[in-house]
Structure 1
Amino acid sequence: MERPYILHMLTPGRQMSPFDINMAADAGYQLLPTYTDVTLDGVAGLTQDAIFSRGPKGVARTGIFIGGRDVILAADMLKRAQKSMVPPFVVSLMADPSGSYTTAAAMVACVEAKLKERGEALAGQRILILGGTGTVGRIAAVLAARCGAEVRMSSRQGIDTAEHAAQETGARFGVTLHGISGGDREAVRRSLAEADVLLAVAAAGVQVVSGEDLAQAGGALKVAADVNAVPPEGVAGVGVMDDGKPLAGTSAVGIGALAVGNVKYQTQHRLLVRMRESDKPVVLGFDEAFEVARAVLAEKKS
């Protein structure tokens, strides 16, 4: 009898995301045990329990997925699991806390594609991330910075919170990020006036940029992307289905939540399938997600 495909799903939270469980099942994994309240120190033991119990042939049908809501902790857990392997007992690994790695990858790739249509790249762009201290915002900031953009992360809690998140995230992932205040309308409008690209990644159902705010963007804004699918839209005038639609009152185009979400879904699915089908163990994080998101968009264009 063939051994089943098992994906051990670890989270530091109280429950594993049903979204991720569904995605893993649709990618062909047959058994999806979940482990909650997992600490960083607990990763090694769980990893070694998973690998030693199946033998060299069984590990080829075994994977480990790391969820949660903390992007830095997830990256650390991924690294800890990787270091816990004992060849030839090595399995594939993937992290995607709160879907942030794949969502951020999809968002930045979508923005990059729209800039390319203008004959431009991410390098040198001034990117404003509203809600930038959250899960998606932090990883979007890292990806954009690695592409050469100047990234400013905004927080509604003020400059201190934003700057702390920027320094913490930048130090962990080796990039330079800047924190700015988003605590009042004037602060948001000042930031918009200097931005080439706007990424809205605040909480669902919260409008972070109104039509009046957009009027302050001036002629510099080129792309505005929003991942909020719950009314009202996070950026006034950016519909959930928009995929390069001109944004009224600006020189920018808008990218809506479902346009980003479609790329995110395909990206996560492909990564999970890659884990299951790979002849050799793979380790998948947000860099690999960005690579796949770019490929999804390239295929769409061709």
Structure 2
Amino acid sequence: MPEATERPYVLHMFTSTPQMSPFDVNMAADAGYQILVPYCNVDEDSVVQLTQDAIFSRGPKGVSRTGIFIGGRDVMLAADMLERARNAMVPPFEVSVFTDPSGAYTTAAALVALAEKHLKAAHSVDLGGKRVLILGGTGAVGRVAAAMAASLGADVAVASHSSQSRATQVSDEINRRFDIATSGVATGSPDQLHRELARAEVVFATAVAGVQVMTSADLAHAKNLLIAADVNAVPPEGIAGVNVMDDGKPLAGAARSDAVGIGALAIGNVKYQAEHRLFLRMRTGGKPVYLGFPEAFDEARAIVAGQSS
């Protein structure tokens, strides 16, 4: 039988959706995992059995070359699945687990870390106490960004284009799950959007790709805007005037001359590095780790700090 050091690196990839994300498969392979096995339509109750099937077959040494990745689209379910997997471990049979549903944890981490950086660089202020409006805030990235920003002391408004009730529902879910305080706001009509923009100092656009949630005319109402950040890389831009390559560039058309924009590729660059580093940490750390959105945020902050040095 080959020595444990010769055994391949195996990653078991759980998703509650019908397919595992090709993006995450590629990222895991580039981080050194040699055998990648997707398990689709996995529900929370199946996680314990799958996890224990993965940990007992390779021995206490072999588990160091085994990992679990949890994807999907539901950020709350993914967090619960991570806890289920963690509780299923039987030391010394214990493997590392990393969750990043729809890339939401690493994308939101990059978004908030860059907003922190540019608030400090352009305005010499922190995110704490700032009014943050998250357009498209009921989606996966918006929910996680809301949790991260609120945990830093920001006054976070989770916006829904569909209705006030939807915004309130999602805000309440986030608050209960992460023990934070956010509010839900409706931005479906121009008057509603303009009212919220007038209060906002930071705007995150986290709506679906290819949808513009803030036009040039809307931008004129954001009289207190310091930072506008957009995760949408598919034309048209989610926020008018924010180019995908912008990384703290002055925002054309903004009411304040010192407002700056952060585009999708600048955010994506940090997101990519964060996900790669987390996969590497899981594979090479030598001991089991459990990686969720707090660890993604720490990684993104470290990357952004390195850019500034």
| TM-score relative to the length of structure 1 | 0.99
How many residue pairs match? The answer is 301
Alignment partner, residue 42 of structure 1? 46
- Rounded to whole Å, the distance in 2 between the matches of 1:38 and 1:221 is 42
Q: List aligned pairs for 1:1-302, cutoff 5 A.
A: 1=2, 2-117=6-121, 118-218=123-223, 220-250=224-254, 251=256, 252-302=259-309
For the 8 Å contact 2:241–2:253, the answer to whether it is kept is: no
| TM-score relative to the length of structure 2 | 0.97
- Rounded to whole Å, the distance in 1 between the matches of 2:252 and 2:38 is 46
Could you list the per-position Cα deviations for residues 261-300 of structure 1 after superposition, in whole angstroms to 9, with x for gaps in the alignment? Answer: 0000000000000000011100001100110101101111
- Rounded to whole Å, the distance in 2 between the matches of 1:104 and 1:276 is 23
The letter for the 1-side match of 2:247 is D
- Rounded to whole Å, the distance in 2 between the matches of 1:29 and 1:248 is 44
After TM superposition, what 4+ stretches of structure 1 lie above 4 angstroms from structure 2? none
- Rounded to whole Å, the distance in 1 between the matches of 2:21 and 2:230 is 22
SS of the residue aligned with 1:153? strand
The letter for the 2-side match of 1:28 is G
- Rounded to whole Å, the distance in 1 between the matches of 2:173 and 2:301 is 27
The letter for the 2-side match of 1:279 is G
Deviation at 1:183, TM superposition (A): 1.2
The letter for the 1-side match of 2:287 is K
What RMSD, in angstroms, separates the aligned Cα atoms of the two structures? 0.6
- Rounded to whole Å, the distance in 2 between the matches of 1:119 and 1:55 is 53
Deviation at 1:249, TM superposition (A): 2.4
The letter for the 2-side match of 1:33 is V
- Rounded to whole Å, the distance in 1 between the matches of 2:70 and 2:178 is 18
The letter for the 1-side match of 2:45 is D
Deviation at 1:301, TM superposition (A): 1.2
SS of the residue aligned with 2:35? coil
- Rounded to whole Å, the distance in 2 between the matches of 1:189 and 1:22 is 41
Gaps of 5+ in 1: none
SS of the residue aligned with 1:64? strand
- Rounded to whole Å, the distance in 2 between the matches of 1:190 and 1:175 is 24
Deviation at 1:185, TM superposition (A): 1.6
Gaps of 5+ in 2: none
Identity of aligned pairs, percent? Answer: 61
The letter for the 2-side match of 1:97 is P
- Rounded to whole Å, the distance in 2 between the matches of 1:24 and 1:146 is 29
The letter for the 1-side match of 2:132 is I
Could you list the per-position Cα deviations for residues 200-254 of structure 1 after superposition, in whole angstroms to 9, with x for gaps in the alignment? Answer: 0001000000000000111x11000000000000000000000111112222100
- Rounded to whole Å, the distance in 2 between the matches of 1:73 and 1:184 is 31
The letter for the 2-side match of 1:151 is V
Deviation at 1:177, TM superposition (A): 1.1
- Rounded to whole Å, the distance in 2 between the matches of 1:65 and 1:105 is 18
